[in-house]
Structure 1
Amino acid sequence: MSTLHWTGLIVLAMIAGAVVPFQSAINVNLGRGLGHPLWATLASLLVSVVVLLPIIVALRLPLPSLAFISKAPLWMWAGGAFGVCFISLALVLLPKLGAAGFMALALAGQVVASLSLDHFGWFGLMERQLTLPKVFGVALLMAGVVLIQFFDAPAKGLATAG
């Protein structure tokens, strides 16, 4: 792959990661307004469908194969449940941990799980051996999580008159 191609992939992956804290913060406010985080989860997923359907129509994508749908193993449908899990937990945890703290912990969980997926080649992924540099990278990431989560400066504007 060319350097330009890799650069494009890196930028797109960073954009994918950058939208997550915005989504979470917006959904926290939506959950407050709707009265419960699960209502915000549902609203978020419904908006996803409303946004995605016109794109599918505009791209003139063919309908999925009914044969595949009928024979696909149940685990292939779990992605939606994982989405509900992430959105709902973000709504509950982000106000308690802060955006940076929640995202650092979520990212640490994603990287640890991803190393397992890669190492064992689960769900049809290509096997990628767990190496000492990867383990060291996770250790550095965990150290970053500790620094982000447990070494906060005092909150601004919370001083009380004595």
Structure 2
Amino acid sequence: MPGSLSFLVAALLAGAAVPFQAGANAMLGRLLGHPFWATFVSLGVSAVLIVPLMVAFRLPVPSVGTALNGPWWIWIGGAAGVVYITAALLLAPKLGAASFIVAVIAGQMVASMVIDHFALMSFAHRPVNIARLAGLAFIIAGLVVTQWASTVAPATQPASNPTQNGDQK
């Protein structure tokens, strides 16, 4: 259990980065003039950051042939990244960070339960049961409450200056 607790904490920290990613990319999209440019730059920054880590860890060059012989669905990760980043750029500013993220989490949970239930993508079989459905229901209830709260207390417009909190260009 201690090992799985550290994994959960790491996953929580990774999840905590997501709304910051959405906000940063949304502002980048506004400054660059189009969300697709921000998606491109965001993925480019990812590549620039991962290459030195790969060099530092002295990772061997992989056999692309082995990957080409793998299942077709191994290639959808990059496409999913583009879909998510672009959706975050377009939707997070309109919905707000909390509403966007809870909607993303609800979507992730529905898809994850299907993947687990049918043991797709080489995941272990974890059938849908009443407890898992209850967890999903709580997340969907959170989505409804968060969205309702957004309509009760309308959003105020941020300052028109793209730099906030005293940041200087």
TM-score normalised to the size of structure 2? 0.88
The answer for unaligned runs of 5 or more in structure 1 is none
Residue of 54, 57, 69 corresponding to 1:71: 69
User: For 1:25 and 1:45, how far apart are their aligned partners in 2?
Assistant: 15
1:113-132 pair list within 5 angstroms: 113-132=111-130
Corresponding residue of 1:56: 54
Residue of 14, 17, 30 corresponding to 2:15: 17
Distance 1:116 1:34, change over 3 A: same
User: For 1:102 and 1:53, how far apart are their aligned partners in 2?
Assistant: 30
Corresponding residue of 2:154: 154
TM-score normalised to the size of structure 1? 0.91
Q: Secondary structure at the match of 1:151?
A: helix
1:27-38 pair list within 5 angstroms: 27-38=25-36
The answer for unaligned runs of 5 or more in structure 2 is 159-169
Greater displacement, 128-137 / 71-80: 71-80
Greater displacement, 85-94 / 70-79: 70-79
Q: Percent identity?
A: 46
Greater displacement, 147-156 / 60-69: 147-156
Residue of 68, 78, 86 corresponding to 1:80: 78
Give the Å deviation of 1:124. Answer: 1.1
User: For 1:109 and 1:157, how far apart are their aligned partners in 2?
Assistant: 27
Distance 1:150 1:54, change over 3 A: same
Residue of 87, 101, 104 corresponding to 2:102: 104
